[in-house]
Structure 1
Amino acid sequence: MFTSLGTSLMSPACLAEGHSRTERQRSGCVGAIQTMRKVWLTVVVLLIYFTEQRGSMGLDGRCLSKPTCTECLRSLGCAWCKQKGFLAQGEPNERRCDREEALRKRHCSDGQVLNPQPAIRSRAEEPMGTVVQLEPQNLHLKLRVGMPQSFEVRFRRAEGYPIDLYYLMDLSFSMKDDLENVRNLGLEVVTAMKNITSAVRIGFGSFVDKVVDPYVSTVEAKLANPCKEGYKGPCQPAFSFKHVLKLTEDVEEFERKVSKQSISSNLDGPESGFDAIMQVAVCQDYPSVGHLSQVLSANNIRLIFAVTDQHIQNYEALSEMIPQSVVGLLEDDSSNVVELISEACNNLSSYIVLEHRDVPPGLGVSYSSHCGDDRLAQGQDRGECSDVRINQQVNFTVTVTSSSCLSKTESFIIKVQGINEELRVTVETLCDCDCQDSEEQSSQCHGNGTFHCGICSCDSGYTGQRCECETQPNKDTSLAVEALCSPAQTNSTGTPLCSGRGSCVCGQCICWGQHRGQHCQCDDISCNRHNNMICGGNGRCDCGNCECFHNYTGPACECSTLTDQCQTSNDGICSHRGQCECNECHCHPGFFGSHCTKPLAPCDTYRACVACMLHESAKNMCHHPCGSAKPIRINGTQSFTCQDDTVRFNVELIINTGDIFVYYTDTPRGIDPWIINMGKAVVGIVLLGVIVIIIYRLMLEVFYQRERRRFLKDKENIWWEDTQNPLFQEAVTTFTHPMHVLEPDADCATSTFGKIKQM
């Protein structure tokens, strides 16, 4: 069984019947399948007129300058100043192209800055009385290259709008049991659909298979009666598609038409379901999946595939390739078809997809979906919201960006899948200058050209930024004039005029910026730097070379010729232990510090010297390990910087002479190492024994506790039962006292021993 769902569409069959526009929109031959008419959902588009940042601000806040106004406006973040006299003599036209903020700082007055801003405006609305879902129906965007422009789309799922259901059924022989249920389907479907909307129409069509071999048997007898032998019911010849009933509100007519249908048969498993859908949609045959998907989407048709369990996987894979389609599991006898249609209709109508079509090259469209409940998705290729309830509003922000200039005004559409209304967006790019200040024979051009948008277009025979120079009558003379703007030693062909740093005006270089010189070969910013300053801040840059101030030298004037930082009032330069270079001490090996006053690793350096001095017999041989240091023996117990088990000493540098003194003393005699080692061994043995005892005692305690728990558990399991031994008889002793006799008439009963009475 094959059932499908969609919005209203126009087929050639409808047009052939001559219906009016309104009637055709409600016609039963529109569509294969359930059609959601154009008032089913309400979409409202609100414009956001953005107060953009000034056009001078590109994505990175910079502008790549261009020499003409048109090129400038096509450069991201740029504005153009058309003001007369804005440029200084020889200043290039590129200086007119900059960020708007920079142009205004350079005193380009109001009204003279060209910086067109992006804009959105709504165009003509539909006439009054026309049912409108999408507002406005048309938008016009003015875009600057690289500057995104956004507007908001608000969508509200409405309640109570008509639904058109076109039931398309497979009448092959395997569906003979289902046909009986379908004959009574009309009233049940309408009743179920009225839970969604108050207005429902229903139509019917059927399909079997292509009437050609190998799809059906072409034997003449089988063409007339294709059903299996032994089948006694009515059997009609096979057909590809048959339109039975157009959309109607008359449920009884639906039942009458369907009751007249009879089963047919074919040979192969697949039937012509796709052919039937295409016939219903646009009266074409033999579709591919891609073609079918395109046609259904273009005609706003939504499909419900109602299939049995053995085919559901195939149709689920197919549904992924067809937008706005859903697959439902159908019982073998189609008994659940009403519930399936109702559920699928709700699922399709609650999933909202906003998309664009026919976008011209150079434009990019993205979406941000605001689906309520703090659900927000940004940077989508299309807007999507699921589980949208009736009367729930969802918002989409649509962003359009132009990556290049359009040669003409272009347009594209934005629409909701399954809805036949659309928002048409026309786009133009702001890439041309509308200066409206053309002035022929302008004084700005020395009367030799036309002034337009701030620059001169020179008449024939004149050249220069302001047409101030006459062009030379022959090539040789012209080259000679240009040669005046090139360095004499590099005037070969291809050498840039004015060193590429200025304009050649009538044989004279007009340098740009900080450049100067006859051929603009010099500038005051290309000298060496020190501490991120030109000439270290200690000189003047002259044509690429530093001219250092007094007391400074070096390629970047980084070196001071003074020595005041290398000495103090009490010592010599670098404490006699280094050289002063650029007013900084460079210490000899073994010393460091700003004035070389600190010995490097003194303890390691002079330990051998002190050890030598402590051996009395070797004192006269200590000049080699001590070097120029002067060892001095002292008495006392003061602390020493350098000390270990063998030596104790201090090292001191006398600043004013540069002499090094090593003050040392004997190391106090300590305890005999053998005794210390023996003590350590004894302590270790005792400690080990204590640890072993503790471990043994803990293990023993664990064993006792385990045995105690076992005893207590066994005691709890002992149960003593009191029973009477059958062999046991209680002992009885009878005796007679000679002085007493028993009274036979005693009132009380005789006990074991009897009642005794004195005789």
Structure 2
Amino acid sequence: MEKLCVLAVVTLTVFVCVTNGQQTCAGRRCGDCVINGTNCHWCAQVGFNFTRCGTLEELNRNNCTDIKSKKQQRIDLIKNEVVQDRTGDDTSDAIQLQPQHVRVYLNPNDEMFTWDITYRVARNYPVDLYFLADPSNTMIQFRDTLARLAGDIGRAVGNITEDYRFGYGTAMDKTVLPYTQSSPKHMENPCKSSRSTCAPPYSFQHSMKLAKDISEFERQVSATNDSANDDAPEGGFDGLMQVMVCPDLIGWRNRSRRLLIYATDSDYHFAGDGRLAGIVIPNDGRCHTDPVTNMYTKALYQDYPSVGQIKEKVKENKIILLFTVGKTAYEGYKKVVDVIGQQSTAEKLDLNDSSNITRIIQNTYRTIRESVDILIEEREDIYWELRSNCGSGSDILQQQSKCEKVGVGKPIQFQMKMRYTGTECPTDPSQWKESFKINPEGLKDELMVDVEYNCLCDCQLPGQAEVNSTKCNGFGTFECGVCKCNEGWSGDNCTCDERLTDIQACSPSGGNKSEDTTPTICNGRGGCQCGHCVCDLPEYSGEFCQCNGKKCGDLDDPCSGNGVCECEECRCNDGFIGDRCECPLSTDNCENNGTICSDNGVCECGRCECNSSYTGVLCEQCTNCPEGQCDSNRACAMCKLMDDGKSGDMTREECERDCDHVTLVGDLDSVRRNDSQTCKFKGPDNCVMSFILHLVDNERVVFVKETTACPPKPANVVILAIAISAAVFLVALILLVLWRVFAYFYDTIEYSKFEEEIKNPKWGFDDNPLFVSPTSRYDNPMCDKPDEKRF
């Protein structure tokens, strides 16, 4: 048993190895064939009579002279500007990612294709910093510090890049209960303390467009009036959304690192909280800030944005969020950052000092600038890997897309490896091309990658392929030695019209119904193939199998061999007439010694039609003449046939004396000659007697057939009636006996059961639970008591 197991394992291993070693090549077109594997090729030779798709060895063995192979995977650089810093005169933008646009050609069933990407941190790369502040009176110290430290912040950022812009705005909350008191008095002065006066409440207000003007930034921050709302959380998400989606209002530059700094000491409202005020319309993520008043106009009509919407707009607009928040709100915003990602961070703000804002901004920007995370849009049918050594100088590349502590001006190389995961090209040619983007996280720099799948051989492309070629019946493209038929046509040479339904193509009426006809395919005599009728039987022909060849005679010799059958009608050759061209116009067959039919008939259809009293092929025999009449030999023929002593008018003696010229035979055809005359007579029993006569040495000889043709005798009605009655009676008697036997056995079984039940009774006397007695019994408790003394 152990040896058998080892043998089975070895056999299976050999089979698997042989199977894996075989190259499977298949495909009806060149492109479909060559993508099956590295050794699959296509023979484009015209008139090649073997399988066109096969291995190189197979095609060479079959002497193919034009072999097409799989294309090589490659990359075309469409835009490849070298990474560079921004010039001082602002005439050119900084380029940090190279190349910028490529086209990659991939093959199904092929290896990974490798190409390179370069990333380099540019010096003086533009940065836009927009400060969104909470204007509540608890943030007064922060705003004072921000205004006081504006110059320091500018200088700190300037140490990293000289091209920076500052912007400023404030965000509070929706001006409706329960977020803000909506009374006129409160709307005029929302601060609860009568000793302080606050600005009317609002949701979001843009104050300063992005600009490199530190003094203006200080003035705008210092000019911020305090305001207040009624609940603890703030509506800062409304402000964040408007800052991100209003690029013209805010002044975001197209190619800059965008940093949005939100400062608050309170928690936040998010999507769904608006329902408390009856605001149920979701936030649409669009800009609704009035460019004149710089105020958000949809605060009372749209709900707060969700964290998911904030994340979407951060990614879409390449914005980095920095939450500088108080200690009590830090954990809440930390969770928001975990969801948003995209290099966003949350830092604790010292509300008592707020001087750490400069350090936070400087450190955050430096960390963001000196790290890169290459983001690649996912595609279901493309597998990719990104490898790099992050500038470490190591020859070993690790699979990673993120590098930390990237030095300014130092190029970092990433190796991009791609592979098309499909085993065949999509059936829809529009899906042979697709595009995706590669970009560093948080930056506008991007690399556009156009992918094309090598689904066609060069001989299938315009210029080499013949459109509407005569080789394809004018209804297809001749490519790579074969025809690719247009829509509605098929077949090796596009001769099959499939534009119509079977009824339309193969019905005599073209599928049109009338009151007295119903469309039938090929008149019910065949099937529709390739838009043409294929008749079931050889005798049918015609466009719709409407012609029956049997109406022209024998299928092997139609029209008697004297014409051509044209759809059930014979077209006769010269010299022949008749429905089946069976009649020659010539009288050669009717001539006899210079006469036509011995002058005893007429020649019709090449045969003699004899006058009465004459017979024979050429009407040469006279039936009423003394030497040839049938009646004169009838008596002798009957007497020889009958052996009852007398037959007809002759006795036995007369028969033996006068009828020596009569002979009995089994078959008349064996003794028949061209000059034979056939005679038939009906006897008294209605039986037909046949004999022939002809001349032998000028003497009449008669041959009589031994058997006669007698009509069937009528059935005996009496005997038939008695037989039917007897059969019915017999069947009834049998059924009666069977019923009686069955009844006997059935009664015997039932009686046995009855006796058994008598001997062993199983019933008892039980009360019916549903029975209620008509009488009731009651005991009188006083009835049996002894008499007591009465006083």
TM normalised by structure 2 equals 0.46
TM-score (norm 1): 0.48
Greater RCO (CA < 8 Å, at least 6 residues apart): 1
